[in-house]
DNA sequence: CCAGATTAGTTTAAACTTAAACTAATTATC
DNA sequence: GATAATTAGTTTAAGTTTAAACTAATCTGG
C-alpha cells in the first residue's frame, strides 16, 4: 500500500464531497499564484519585462504567419481591450507588428517582429527552465496523473459553466 | 486496466519529462483562469461585487477577532499596497472596520463589520455552490487524488523557489 | 440596393496589482 | 538612552484587467 493511496483514502473518509470542491479550487488557485509570482519576478529581474507581455508574445509565436487581435484574446482568455493595450506597448518597443488586413478591413494581422522573435526565443528557453525547476519535485508519473486530472477539471468546467 | 491509467501511461511514453512541466503549468493556469472568469462574472451579476473584495472578506472571516493588514496580504499572497486599497473601499461601504492597535501602534486591526459578516455569509454560500457545480464532473476519488498531487506541487514549489 | 444586425477592434472608467519610495513606530545595539 | 536597523502600512507610478460604450466594417434579409 503506497503512501499516496493511503493519504487519498484518508481524505475520502474525513472530508465531505461538499467541502472537497472548494478545497481543490483553493489549492488550484494557490499553486497558480505561487508559480505566477515566481515567474513574474524572474521576468522582471532577468528580462526587465512582464508576464502579460510574455504571454502575448508566446501566443503570437504559435502562428508565424500572424493572427488577429481576437485570436490572441481568445487564446489567452482575456478581454480584447486588454490585448489592444499590451500589443500597443509591444509595438512601441518594436517587438510586434500590427497591420490592417487586406481582406476583412476590420481585422488586424499581428505578428512578432524579427527582434520580437529573437527576444521571445531567449525568454522562452529561460521560462521553460524555471518551470521545470519549480516542478522538479514531481515524478514523471505524478505529472502524468496530474495532467489527466486537470483535463477532467477542464471538461467538467466546460460542461457546467454554460448551465 | 482502467482508462485513466492507460491515458497516463500513454503520456509517459509520448511526452518527454522536459515538456511535461510546462504542460502542467499551462493546464493549471487554464483551469484557474476558467474558474476565476466564471466566478468573477457571477459575483458581478448576482452580488454586484468583485472577486478581490470577496477574497479579502473571506480572509477576514477566518479570524472574527480581527487581524492585521499584513496577515491578510500574506494569506492572500498579494502585496500590502493592494490590500490597503481594497480594505479602504470595503470600509467606505461599511463592510469592514479598521482601527489602529493599542499595543503596537504601527499595526491596524481589521475585521468584518456586522453588515460585512451578513453579506459575506450570503456570498459564501453561493460561492461554494458555484464551485461545487463547476467541479461536479469530478468523482470524489479524482478530487482526492488531485488534492494530493496539488499538495505535492506546492511542496515542490516551496523547495525550489528559494533556490 | 440598403437598413438593421453582427463583428473586430479601440476607447473609457474604474478597479486591481505590483514594485518601489516613503512615513511612522518599534526593536536592537552599543 | 541615542542611533541604526527593521517592520507595518500607505502612497505613488506604471501597467494590467474588466465591462461597457463606441466606431468602423461586414453581413443579412428584404
In a structure prediction context, what are the per-residue pLDDT tens digits for chain B, which is 163 residues long? 555 566 776 666 667 788 899 999 999 999 999 999 999 999 999 999 999 999 999 999 999 999 999 999 999 999 999 999 999 999 999 999 999 998 899 999 999 999 999 999 999 999 999 999 999 999 999 999 999 999 999 999 998 776 6
Q: What is the mean pLDDT of residues A51-72?
A: 97
| Whole-number Å distance between alpha carbons of A108 and A102 | 9
Quick one: closest CA in B to A24, which residue?
A: B147
Residue A158, C-alpha cell as written in the block: 466546460
**Entry pTM:** 0.89
| Whole-number Å distance between alpha carbons of B151 and B163 | 19
Residue B132, C-alpha cell as written in the block: 461545487
Coil vs helix vs strand at A45:
helix
Residue B49, C-alpha cell as written in the block: 461585487
What residues in B contact A35, CB-CB < 8 Å? 25, 28-29, 157
Q: Quick one: which residue's CA is nearest to D12's C1'?
A: B81
Which of A28, A36, A140 is facing B150, going by the closest CB pair?
A28
CB B53 under 7 Å to nucleic chain C? yes
Can you tell me which residue has the cell 515542490?
Answer: B156
Measure the CA angle with vertex A26, ends A157 and B11; round to 5°: 55
Angstrom distances, CA of residue A38 to CA of A43, A55, A114, B110: 9, 15, 28, 28
Q: Which of A16, A28, A70 is nearest to B35 (CA)?
A: A28
First CA to last CA distance, chain B: 40
pLDDT above 70 covers a percentage of chain A that reads 91
Question: Are A25 and B34 an interchain contact pair (Cβ–Cβ within 8 Å)?
Answer: no
Helix (H) or strand (E) holding B11: helix B3-14
Q: What is the mean pLDDT of residues A120-145?
A: 96
Look at residue A102 in the predicted model and tell me its pLDDT. 87
CB B108 under 7 Å to nucleic chain C? no
Q: What is the mean pLDDT of residues A95-105?
A: 93
Say if B6 is an interface residue toward chain A (CB within 8 Å): no
Mean of per-residue pLDDT scores for chain A:
92
Angstrom distances, CA of residue A85 to CA of A8, A54, A158, B1: 45, 14, 29, 50
Q: What is the mean pLDDT of residues A104-116?
A: 96
Q: What is the mean pLDDT of residues A113-125?
A: 97
Of the candidate ranges A7-11, A135-139, B119-123, B151-155, the one whose mean pLDDT is the lowest? A7-11
What residues in B contact A128, CB-CB < 8 Å? 18, 21-22
CB B80 under 7 Å to nucleic chain D? yes
| Whole-number Å distance between alpha carbons of A152 and B10 | 16
Q: Quick one: which residue's CA is nearest to D27's C1'?
A: A104
Say if B26 is an interface residue toward chain A (CB within 8 Å): no
Amino acid at each position: 500500500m503506497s503512501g499516496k493511496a493511503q493519504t487519498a483514502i484518508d481524505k475520502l473518509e474525513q472530508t465531505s464531497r461538499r467541502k472537497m470542491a472548494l478545497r481543490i479550487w483553493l489549492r488550484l488557485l494557490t499553486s497558480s499564484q505561487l508559480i505566477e509570482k515566481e515567474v513574474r519576478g524572474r521576468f522582471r529581474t532577468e528580462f526587465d519585462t512582464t508576464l502579460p507581455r510574455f504571454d502575448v508574445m508566446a501566443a503570437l509565436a504559435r502562428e508565424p504567419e500572424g493572427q488577429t487581435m481576437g485570436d490572441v484574446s481568445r487564446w489567452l482568455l482575456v478581454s480584447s481591450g486588454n490585448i489592444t493595450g499590451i500589443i500597443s506597448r509591444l509595438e512601441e518597443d518594436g517587438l510586434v507588428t500590427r497591420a490592417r488586413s487586406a481582406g476583412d478591413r476590420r481585422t488586424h494581422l499581428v505578428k512578432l517582429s524579427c527582434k520580437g522573435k529573437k527576444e521571445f526565443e531567449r525568454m522562452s528557453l529561460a521560462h521553460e527552465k524555471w518551470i521545470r525547476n519549480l516542478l522538479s519535485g514531481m515524478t514523471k508519473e505524478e505529472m502524468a496523473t496530474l495532467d489527466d486530472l486537470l483535463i477532467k477539471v477542464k471538461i467538467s468546467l466546460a460542461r457546467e459553466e454554460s448551465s
